[in-house]
């Protein structure tokens, strides 16, 4: 009987720890990588609305986006999945995204790969304090992002 109580308490403590970590992580910008799908440009600008596939990590509204050379593209305004607004989209999802600044055909094109611009201090906290809560893909993206934003074009992925 006492083992059962201890086991329940242990599960409760783990759940509380996870909830606290999730709440803290929600304040940070997490890494994400998307690809603009060919044939899914719904609006060219003001804001640009395009179909994307999340290649890795996650995207959320208000997340800033950069291209593979590290140039700022704009910010995610909304994400829709099958016509409904969603708060985030993760790896493997195909969704429609509105992006506030770019014009399709000028700053972005179908087939482009864009990255969530993770501030350096957020990346530091994520890779140290929350390393165990990130997927292997998100950890790899943090490393990939470091090469993009440091301006080393020889190691950037395109």
What is the count of structural domains for the chain? 1
Q: Could you tell me if residue 9 is inside a domain?
A: no
Give the chain's mean pLDDT.
90
Please name the residue ranges forming H helices in 26-135.
120-128
Rg (CA), the chain: 18
pTM for the structure as a whole: 0.82
Q: Could you tell me if residue 13 is inside a domain?
A: no
81: domain CATH number?
2.40.30.10
Q: Could you tell me if residue 110 is inside a domain?
A: yes
Structural domain range at position 116: 32-153
Structure tokens at 149: 């934003």
Q: Could you tell me if residue 19 is inside a domain?
A: no
pLDDT in tens, 26-61: 899 999 999 999 999 999 999 999 999 999 999 999
Lowest mean pLDDT among 26-30, 75-79, 83-87, 144-148: 144-148
Q: Could you tell me if residue 23 is inside a domain?
A: no
């Amino acid at each position: 009987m006492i083992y059962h109580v201890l086991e329940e308490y242990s599960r409760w403590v783990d759940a509380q720890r996870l909830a606290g970590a999730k709440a803290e992580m929600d304040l940070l910008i997490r890494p994400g990588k998307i690809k603009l799908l060919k044939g899914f440009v719904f609006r060219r600008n003001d804001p640009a609305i395009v179909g994307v596939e999340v290649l890795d990590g996650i995207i959320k509204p208000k997340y800033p986006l950069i291209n593979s050379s590290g140039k700022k593209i704009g910010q995610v305004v909304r994400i829709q999945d099958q016509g409904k607004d969603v708060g985030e989209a993760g790896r493997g999802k195909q969704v429609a995204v509105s992006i506030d600044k770019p014009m399709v055909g000028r700053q972005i094109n179908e087939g482009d790969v864009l990255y969530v611009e993770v501030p350096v201090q957020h990346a530091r906290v994520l890779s140290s304090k929350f390393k165990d809560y990130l997927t292997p893909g998100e950890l790899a993206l943090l490393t990939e992002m470091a090469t993009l934003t440091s301006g080393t074009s020889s190691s950037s992925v395109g």
